[in-house]
Amino acid sequence: MKNSTIKNIIKLSIGLASLIPLTKTEKTFALDACAPSDSVTSMSSESNPCFITPEMLKVKFYEIGFCTSDPLSSGTFDNSTCQKTWDNTSGFTTDIGKKTYEKMQGNIYKIPNGTYGYSYAIMNNSWTYKGKYKLKNGNTWYTRSDGGVTSDISSYAEWNDDISNMLGEETTDLCYDYSANTSDGQVTALLTDSNNITATNAATCGSATRVIGSINLNRALRVTDLVYGYRLTWKITNLGLGIEHFNNGSKQVPGSFRGGPFTPVFNLKYYITGN
C-alpha cells in the first residue's frame, strides 16, 4: 500500500447507468434518457421518469475495488472474492458533474493478477445534485433545494438527496431495493451502515450512512504482470438526474427531480515491452 492519488477523468459519455440499492432476487429495469433539452414541447412521449445529465453530482467515496464474483449476490456485502484498489477512511468528495481531471486523495493498493468481472464502490448516502431541463418554446425547469422543480432561475439551487428509501421498482415497499440494466453492465447496490451491514427495514434504512454499489462489467478486467494501473472514468450522461413529469393543461411538464446514478469505466494501463 502507498499513500498517493488516483487521477480520474470525469467526462460526458453516452450510456445508461446506476449505482444505488437492492436484493438480487428481483427483476431489473432499464433507465431511459429524456429527449435532449429544448427539443420537445411536451414530455408526454418520455419515460416517467426519464434521465438527464446533471450540472452537479457530488459523491463521497470511501473504497473502490474489483471482484471475481458479485459481492452483493447474497443481499449483503461479501468481499471474499474482492481486491481493494483504493480507499480513504475519511472519504473523498468529488463532483462528477464537473467532468474534469481530479486527484482522489487516498491509499492505492496493488491488485493481484487475475480476471475481475465485477467492480464495487463504497460511498456515502447523501448525494448533491444540480440540474435543469428546457421545454422547446417553453420554460426551463430547475432543481430546487428540496428536490422539487421551479421555472424561477433565482430559486435554482443544489439539492441534497439523502438516500434512505429506494423507490422499490423490483419489489414493493423495500427501502433498500434497487437494480438496473445499463450499457456498461447490470448495476445493483445496498444501503448499509458505516460497518457495511445491510439495511433491512425502514428504521435501518433511515439510519443508513453508506451506499455500496456493484457492477457486472460487460468486459472483465484481466490483470497481468504487464498492468501497472488503471484509468477510471465516470459516466453520468443521460442518467445522473431523473425527471418525473405530469399533466399541466395540454402538455406534460417536469414535476419533480429524483436522484440518478452513474457508472465506472476502467481502462487498464500497461507497461510497454520490447520485442
List % helix, strand, coil for the chain (3-state, nearest 5): 5, 50, 45
Specify the pLDDT at position 99. Answer: 66
Length of the chain: 275
pLDDT block averages, 10 residues each, the chain of length 275 = 35 29 42 94 94 94 96 92 96 85 84 95 95 96 93 96 67 67 78 93 91 91 89 84 91 90 82 66
Specify the pLDDT at position 16. Answer: 26
What CA–CA distance (Å, rounded) separates 80 from 101?
A: 32
Specify the pLDDT at position 274. Answer: 57
20 within 8 A of 51, measured Cβ to Cβ: no
| Cis-peptide into 49, omega within 30 deg | yes
184 within 8 A of 15, measured Cβ to Cβ: yes
Query: Which backbone phi and psi does 265 adopt, to 5 degrees?
Result: -130, 125
Q: Do β-strands 101-108 and 140-143 pair in parallel, antiparallel, or remain unpaired?
A: unpaired
Domain ranges for the chain, please list them.
2-270
What CA–CA distance (Å, rounded) separates 176 from 147?
A: 20
Specify the pLDDT at position 133. Answer: 97
H helices of the chain, in order, are 202-206
